[in-house]
Structure 1
Amino acid sequence: MILRRLLLALAPLLLAAGTATAQSFPTKPITLIVPFPAGGPSDALARALAQGMAADLKQTVVVENIGGASGTIGLAKLVNAAPDGYTIGFGTIGTHVANAALFKKLPYDPLTGFEPIGLAGTAPLLLVAKAGLPVSNLKEFIAYAETNKAGMTYGSAGVGSISHYACVVLLSALKLNITHVPYRGVAPAMNDLMGGHIDFMCDQTTTALPQIAGGKIKALAVLSDQPLPQLPGVATAASQGYDVNLRSWNALFAPKGTPQPVIARLNEALRAAVADPALVKQMTAVGVDLPSPDALQPATVTTLIARGLEKDVPALKARGEYLD
């Protein structure tokens, strides 16, 4: 009884403290950890969002690139940061889904180890091939691979990257086993694809569309559920008879225990950033979809992680590729 009276007495004070936190936050610059090297597609989106959020928050948002170990080094720093909203981080389908299968032990729990702030953007994934591969769609690719798979290779931005994750899920669905060649980033992998040194990749539109437009590689299928206006005539995998629906996603996270009023203020700034018409135009040109207002709820991110852990992690684990 005494405890109950004490809690009732404290409730208004706690509510007032939370309101004060929301009203005063932020009072100093915020650090945004991007767990990848500078220059990649996630980094480009993170920097654009940091600029937009800074304008709304009226404080500088400093991007800190902490690459290595498929994003786990940067996120390990985030998970151990003070839960005050002044250190936030970028996560992806790679860091929060693929890594759950590719690392025997992670320094963070992808589902419960952070406070989601909101979805930052999604991008379709494509099956792209070197210009000289004698196929033009997914069915022809499968027929060719069934005959020539012993000599074929596919590239990625590294084990645990989104490009690796997508190809593992695709090849598992197609029941194909093809040699993986990991690179240190998307750029060298794409260079070797354009040079004909590897046969195919599963890449985001962000980096693939310019090379497709230039005729340096060719698109065989859209791996997401909707065709792309930028690629008329390139069918989705689903429309070609295969149950594959893959989109990369990026989201913002805060350390576990960050006060909900602070999360709400950061979410408000994220909403302001993704509503900027200039950013929408910039991202649309490279096939990135910024989230709708409904999708900006933190719960959307939790759902994406849970779905990926349940559906895709078993396929990744079945490949037996581990990073530690």
Structure 2
Amino acid sequence: MLKKMIAVLTALVFSASAAFSVDYSGKTITIWVPFKAGGGTDAVARALTAPLSANLPGNPAVVVKNMTEGGGIGSVNTYVAKHGKDKDGLVVLATSGSTQLPFLFKDKRVRYDYKNFVAVHGAGTGGVVYVRSDLGVKDIVKDFDKLKGSKLFYGSQGISSLDAVPALAFDMLGLPVKLVYGMKGRKGGRAAIMRGETTIDYQTSSSYNKHIKPLVAKGEMVALMSWGVQKGNKIVRDPNYPNLPSFTEVYEKVTGKKPGGKEFQAWSAMFSAGFTTQKFLVLPKGTKKSVIKTWQKAAAGIVANPATMKVLNGKLGKYPHFIGDKDLKVALKKASSMKGSTYSFLKDWLASKK
């Protein structure tokens, strides 16, 4: 018994000393963002640079690199090829729904597996659907027939991306939205509607707040609905946009029935992976345990600081943050797994959109 106690104490001391041995003094930490600057993932990464620097041992410089060659999927493939065996935590990958959903869809271009990542920080987000004001639509429920009769064009980065969420939502509502492919991220979609090339768009909360909300205030764009947020088994209004109905609320009002069936099950699965558990910072699975613990401790320090969270919530919206190894594992699994029946439905639906 005494030998066993000594062994346990020795292991604890070794574990503690290993955690303290991580020191990033004089180092530069890179957040690898697989999208252009200006998008939601980029906004989250840039908002975290100063807090991470303050909470990581040695207060290293933390910089964002927008690695866009090959698009989001190609960039994550490149991260895995170049840094998949790293152990030091110097280059961390920022993922989003636009990299998670292609993995769930078994996109042939994907060369990464979420089972080979370890999450050190996670966060949810929201999204807002809006249209150009020259459509003359003010309220999505009251003016639904007018919206349905309008020429609706949506700038998409590809159906095997986060854009599958709005595309299926539009289908469920019976809106005749034409998808215009070739956009470089949601930033490209935003630029297209601002130029008048498209008429309907959505942005994640951080991008909407920064770029579109001011245009809504000027009367150039009109916000129609948010996707909502998960509350238990229900999707309710996003508290960041209390005056906007959620997608499920709009669906019920314009169709006269509650959402359900295979379509809604598929949409809910994508919403969960693309929004409820959307943004992650991940390291390769082979990263030293002491490094992973150090990163997770830094993330916990950020979330525990009210002043820091006030700044982050102001920039990104107030959404759940996932910290601690146990909660992060659950969140990452939820974001990167899907029932076989749901996948079968989506496989056919995705094929119909190509």
Q: Same fold (TM over 0.5)?
A: yes
- Identify the residue that residue 65 of structure 1 maps to in structure 2: 66
Post-superposition offset of 1:177: 5.6
Post-superposition offset of 1:91: 0.7
State whether residues 117 and 298 of structure 1, in contact with CA within 8 Å, keep that contact through their aligned partners in structure 2.
Answer: yes
State whether residues 91 and 252 of structure 1, in contact with CA within 8 Å, keep that contact through their aligned partners in structure 2.
Answer: yes
Secondary structure at the aligned position of 2:135 is classed as coil
Distance 1:83 1:195 in 2: 45
Within the alignment, does 1:281 sit opposite 2:310 as a pair? yes
- Identify the residue that residue 128 of structure 1 maps to in structure 2: 130
Distance 2:340 2:136 in 1: 36
Alignment gaps of 5+ in structure 1: 1-9
State whether residues 102 and 321 of structure 1, in contact with CA within 8 Å, keep that contact through their aligned partners in structure 2.
Answer: no
- Identify the residue that residue 4 of structure 1 maps to in structure 2: none
- Identify the residue that residue 105 of structure 2 maps to in structure 1: 101
Scaled by the length of structure 2, the TM-score of the pair is: 0.73
State whether residues 158 and 184 of structure 1, in contact with CA within 8 Å, keep that contact through their aligned partners in structure 2.
Answer: no
Secondary structure at the aligned position of 1:132 is classed as helix
- Identify the residue that residue 3 of structure 1 maps to in structure 2: none
CA RMSD of aligned residues (A): 3.5
Of the three residues 72, 80, 86, the one matched with 1:82 is 86
Post-superposition offset of 1:229: 5.2
- Identify the residue that residue 120 of structure 2 maps to in structure 1: 117
Secondary structure at the aligned position of 1:123 is classed as coil
State whether residues 83 and 259 of structure 1, in contact with CA within 8 Å, keep that contact through their aligned partners in structure 2.
Answer: yes
Secondary structure at the aligned position of 2:94 is classed as strand
**Amino acid in structure 1 at the alignment position of 2:100:** H
**Amino acid in structure 2 at the alignment position of 1:73:** G
Secondary structure at the aligned position of 1:49 is classed as helix
Post-superposition offset of 1:199: 2.0
Alignment gaps of 5+ in structure 2: 1-6, 229-234, 253-257, 260-266
State whether residues 166 and 202 of structure 1, in contact with CA within 8 Å, keep that contact through their aligned partners in structure 2.
Answer: no
Of the three residues 26, 43, 56, the one matched with 2:23 is 26
- Identify the residue that residue 332 of structure 2 maps to in structure 1: 302
Query: Percent identity at matched positions?
Result: 22
**Amino acid in structure 1 at the alignment position of 2:119:** P
Post-superposition offset of 1:52: 0.9
Distance 2:117 2:191 in 1: 36
Deviations 1:252-304 (A, max 9, x none): 10001223332121011112223444543334335523535668831243243
Deviations 1:23-70 (A, max 9, x none): 211344333211112232211211221221111112223322211334
Distance 2:240 2:216 in 1: 10
Within the alignment, does 1:320 sit opposite 2:351 as a pair? yes
State whether residues 104 and 322 of structure 1, in contact with CA within 8 Å, keep that contact through their aligned partners in structure 2.
Answer: no
Post-superposition offset of 1:314: 5.2
Of the three residues 260, 263, 274, the one matched with 2:292 is 263
Secondary structure at the aligned position of 1:201 is classed as strand
Structure 2 CA distance for partners of 1:63 and 1:286, relative to 1, 3 Å: closer
**Amino acid in structure 2 at the alignment position of 1:198:** T
Distance 2:339 2:301 in 1: 30
Secondary structure at the aligned position of 1:258 is classed as coil
- Identify the residue that residue 38 of structure 1 maps to in structure 2: 37
